[in-house]
Amino acid sequence: MDSFTGILSGFAVALQPTYLLTALLGATVGTAIGILPGIGPSLAISLLLPFTFHLVDPIGAFIMFGGIFYGAMYGGSTTTILINTPGESSSVVTAIDGYQMARKGRAGAALATSAIGSFVAGTIATFGLMILAEPLVEFALRFGPAEYFALMVLSLCTVTAIGGGQPWKAAFATLLGLSLGMVGIENTSGQLRFTFGVPSLFDGIDVVVAAIGLFAISEVLFGLGNLRGKTEPRLIQAGSLWMTKEEWRRSWAPWIRGSGAGFFVGALPGAGATIAAFLSYAIERNISRHPEKFGQGAIEGVAGPEAANNASAGGALVPLLTLGIPGSATAAVMLSAFQGYGINTGPLLLTYHPELVWGLIASLYVGNLMLLVLNLPLVGMWVKLLKIPEALLYPIILAFSTLGVYSLNRNVVDLFVAYGIGVVGFVLRRYRYPLAPVILGLVLGPMLETEFRRALIGSRGDWLIFVERPLAATILGGAALILLAPWLVRLMTGRRREAGVGGDDVQRPESGR
Amino acid sequence: MNQAPRHEGRAARVVETIFTILIPAFAIWFIWQATMVPEPPRNVVVGPRTFPIIAGVLMIIVSIPLLMQRLRVHRDAASGLGRGGGDDAFVPGEDDEVHVGDRRAVVVVLGALLSLFLLLETLGFVVALSLFVFALATFFSRDRWPRNLAVAVVFALAFYSLFTYVLRIRLPNGILEGYF
């Protein structure tokens, strides 16, 4: 089946009324969580997992998750532009010029260029995913355990080196995630590890439990811990959503460039939407003829990053669907959802579940169109969400999290595990340790160990297998290079920085909220 | 976003250093626990101990530069240098919400959540969740208690019904068992 017949069959699935409805539901929920500061796509998908397991089949669930993933990227920009608080960490960079545009009375134009740019980017990224899926799967079918092991190492190295901003802290976060992933019955030998005789831990720490602990509990602690003495955010009226001819002319090139950069960064295992947005901002400022206008309401600084963070969501689905390797916290939670449905991920996903993969891709086109309609003409409706008092919103997030965690296994122990992880997450975030690598490590840990041991069993204990297979060696070499990249960059830019050119950093922490 | 770097007090610096010291301590404990995992009787290439030990060793290695960073911070503070933070300046941190203005609020939230988890099965979901949402919301917005009470009860009832009747997940209903 080539991509064309594949996508046709996908539309036959995605256009069924039930799936149209789940796509709309996903897009709506996604936009809402994008608008609400503090709840990100990975947390939203974790919270919804207990529902989807009981209500919809895997196709419906993934169509919904796709809508949430794309929708969060759309919604994040609205909050950022109108109240100068990022709705998502991936919209942090949009705040710089978006809020300035809003103050100058161009809030409507900023919202429009974000939404249309997100649409362009989402469509381009979905197209990229569509044409890349088949060839990548063909390629990946030749991978052995050594190659998979190398790819996962690459993913963990990327998230360590550039995902967190502070490599050593990110490295600890990754290792902590890996060690949490070792709790429970070990895959190959069946030995119990780190369970301390608690039966609920035999199956390991559920990704949903960890994600809710890390993202929900720690987020609420920061949210309510800073509530007192906080001034009411000033909401800027959106006004007319019309873009002038000049604004159109200045937007389309950043949309295309942002889409390309975002898709590429998103497809890289370990780098996510935040980095994509910052990269796009840096590109736009560097090629602009008026870089001095950036920071004072340059529409390019909104169009590019908002396109990039959307495209990165499409890019992140590439390694997830073709290799079964998640590149971000959100993709990691989606991978655990596949496992929860008993679906084997990896290159054979497309062979065994073509209707799921193509249906998801087709529904992303449809969902993207829904999101454009939801976010542009209906933006006034969404803004009302920002009026929900935080004193009520945060306790409800915790109550909802409690329901989500408990209903997984109907077990109180899971709640205490989430509580413990939440406290650790709070401390980590307080000291600027990134949280997304913990989730990635937790999900990748068991897979990493299984492939590692499979490779060594295949080679009869010869550790050289990881360097003797050219592909595995190349990937591991790439991983090493990425780990060393920050030092290399610093060596090269060190002198420039001392001369006072510093401060224009590209990367920002991927907090994975 | 472009705030001046906040200078942290001595106490905050010490607490962060204690946290950093806990990292190698945790790693050593982790390795020690890993060595107690029984090896399977068959002679395998890589046993269940190998991976945890590798992770633990890497954690100890990573803790060295982290501890050195803390050492620099303390030295800079002692010599009056305002560099603060001591963080790698390669990337600016997300400053907006890594600080907590109201420590009492954190303690209250953690206490409320712990009580919720402890009392959940005894009181049942409807009562426990209503109480939790009402109490916590009212602590933070005292004058709006009637609104908070209404929202809390509606939320708990709505989601209990959703789980019980639509999703068919049985949730314990403690003291209300038998009523609905």
Task: Please spell the DSSP secondary structure of A219-274, one letter per residue.
Answer: HHHHHHHTTTTPPPPPPPP----PPPHHHHHHHHHHHHHHHHHHHHHHHSTT--HH
CA of B79 to nearest chain A CA: how many angstroms apart? 22
CA atoms in the 13 A half-sphere facing the CB of A361: 32
Question: How far is A301 from A215, CA to CA, in rounded Å?
Answer: 28
Is residue B90 over pLDDT 60?
no
Is residue A15 over pLDDT 70?
yes
Instruction: Give chain A's radius of gyration (CA, Å).
Output: 22
Judge: B91–A391 Cβ closer than 8 Å, yes or no: no
Query: Which amino acid is present at A284?
Result: E
Q: A391-419 burial string, b = 16+ CB within 10 Å, else e?
A: bbbbbbbbbbbbbbbbbbeeebebbbbbb
Report residue B99 as tokens. 């600080």
Q: Which chain B residue is nearest to residue A183, measuring alpha carbons?
A: B52
Q: How does pLDDT run across B112-135, given as a tens digit for each residue?
A: 999 999 999 899 999 999 999 999
A54, A228, A389 member nearest B102 (Cβ): A228
Range of weakest confidence among A105-114, A298-307, A502-511, B7-16: A502-511
Task: Give contacts of B46 with chain A, Cβ < 8 Å.
Answer: 452-453, 456
pLDDT for A62: 93
Neighbours of A38 (CB within 10 A): 21
Residue A337 buriedness (CB in 10 A; 0-12 / 13-18 / 19+): buried
A226, A395, A461 member nearest B136 (Cβ): A395
Q: Which chain B residue is nearest to residue A178, measuring alpha carbons?
A: B55
CB–CB of A303/A112 below 8 Å? no
Mean pLDDT of all residues in A30-37: 90
Report residue B126 as tokens. 């409807």
Task: Give contacts of A461 with chain B, Cβ < 8 Å.
Answer: 45
Q: Does B51 touch chain A (CB under 8 A)?
A: yes
Per-residue three-class SS string for A24-76? HHHHHHHHHHHHCCCCCHHHHHHHHHHHHHHHCCHHHHHHHHHHHHHHHHHHH
B33, B40, B147 member nearest A191 (Cβ): B40
Q: What is the ipTM of this complex?
A: 0.87
Question: How far is A280 from A259, CA to CA, in rounded Å?
Answer: 9
Which is more confident, A191 or A260?
A260
pLDDT for B171: 85
pLDDT for B92: 40
Q: What share of chain B in percent tops pLDDT 70?
A: 82
- Phi, then psi, of A51 in degrees rounded to 5: -70, -50
pLDDT for A233: 67
Mean pLDDT of all residues in A208-213: 91
Q: Checking DSSP bridges between strand A192-193 and strand A184-185, what pairing results, if any?
A: antiparallel
pLDDT for B125: 92
**pLDDT band for position A509 (cuts 50, 70, 90):** very low
User: DSSP label at B170?
Assistant: -
Q: Does B146 touch chain A (CB under 8 A)?
A: no
Q: Which of A479, A513, A481, A486 lies closest to A155, judged by CA?
A: A479
Q: Which chain B residue is nearest to residue A162, measuring alpha carbons?
A: B91
Question: How far is B121 from A100, CA to CA, in rounded Å?
Answer: 51
The residues, ordered by sequence, that sit 6+ positions from A26 with a Cβ below 8 Å of its Cβ are A63, A64, A65, A66, A67, A68, A71, A367
